[in-house]
Amino acid sequence: MRSSIIVAGVLAIAATVWILSGQIGDDDRQAIANDSKAGEQKPVELIAVRVKPVQPRTQQGAVIVNGRTEESRKVTVRAETAGPVSEVPGEEGKIVEAGDVIARQDVEDRNARLAETAALVRQREIEYRAAKKLAKKGFRSGTKLAESRALLDAARAQAKSMRIDLSRTTIRAPFRGILETRYVEKGDFVKIGDNIAKIVDLDPVLAVGFVSERDVGALSVGAPGRVTLIDGRTADGTIRFIAAVADSETRSFRVELEIPNANHTIRSGLTGELTLPLAPIRAHVISPAVLTLADDGRIGVRIVDPADIVRFVPIKILSDTAEGLWVSGLKDGQRLITVGHEYVKAGQKVRPVREDAKTGA
């Protein structure tokens, strides 16, 4: 009986060991199978982006501003002596040459007074010569001689003043130009300082515009320019003046373009558009669609480096044209991401698909 119990116990222990050994084997085989599957995982698929190598182009930039035409010179001729106007040969709207008579004033008694002062000069000259002779002989003191000389000088000064006043009764044009406005008519009495006429010089004529503080540094006196008038006419000229001080309200600088106008076909006061060329620059042309922003707010584009890693490149926009944005900051030949840049980020590896590169002069 005792031996039966022992045999049964041995068989129970053996069965338990056999069962346990089978479970452990299954776990090991499952672990090996799992390790095999992990080794057979597919590689990560890279995002494809379309790229285009950028090529430099030459941009002939220009500053374009609205402006107007102005006369190169203008003057308001005023009366320098008082008296009635006796003649006005100058006609409004006509060209006058330098020295042409615009108006004449009545000389009145000026000729008589001039003759009187001339006679006084002769008298003082005789008196001075006599005093000089007497002084040499000791019959006249040095004080009396000096007094005689002073009277002669005063008479001569008075005669000169009379001649100047008489010459001022004839009013002449100071330079060649157009007699734009005549303020007096025959018979008008004018005082010193009264307006007689306004003369404007339209050859050359000026095209005036105001350039922003950002662009004024790129301009220089003597550089060429062009104005397109409101009626479609164009005229070429050169920059003759750039203001050194900005307008206090607009913070812009006055620029004058001098234009030949021998026939006076360009009038003063016409509106137009000034085109002031800048020095040629080498830049790249890109589509506005490829622009992106960095985390710090900088504007730029994404490129793919030689290792196919995405990089952010900050750029500066130079101008916006119909063919695209002219920008600086890129290097020649860099692969610009043109499609898919919004789905990738800097530092990410991608699969670039190349476009045909477009080159330009």
In tens, the pLDDT along 152-162 reads 889 899 889 88
Residues 237 and 210 in one domain: yes
Residues 92 and 179 in one domain: yes
pLDDT (mean) for 261-285: 90
Residue 208 vs residues 30, 40, 173: alpha-carbon distances, Å: 89, 77, 26
- Count of domains forming the chain: 3
98 inside domain = yes
Residues 86 and 183 in one domain: yes
The last residue of one of the domains, among 190, 208, 238, is 190
Distance (Å, whole) CA 354 – CA 340: 13
In this prediction the pTM is 0.60
Residues 139 and 176 in one domain: yes
Could you tell me the CATH number of the domain that includes residue 204?
2.40.30.170
Domain that holds residue 209: 65-69+200-277
Residues 315 and 214 in one domain: no
20 inside domain = no
| Percent of the chain scoring above 90 in pLDDT | 50
6 inside domain = no
What burial class does residue 207 get, using C-beta atoms within 10 Å of its C-beta: 0-12 exposed, 13-18 middle, 19+ buried? buried
**pLDDT (tens digit per residue) in 232-262:** 999 999 999 999 999 988 899 999 999 999 9
110-137 vs 142-167: helix axis angle to the nearest 10?
160
Residues 216 and 153 in one domain: no
348 inside domain = yes
Taking Cα atoms as reference points, which of 324, 318, 202 lies closest to residue 269? 202
9 inside domain = no
Exposure class string for 177-205: b at 16+ Cβ within 10 A, else e: bbbbebbbeeebebeeeeebbbbbbbbbb
Residues 233 and 310 in one domain: no
Helix ranges (DSSP H) in the chain: 2-39, 110-137, 142-167
Residue 118 vs residues 90, 111, 123, 146, 214: alpha-carbon distances, Å: 33, 10, 9, 21, 66
3 inside domain = no
Residues 285 and 272 in one domain: no
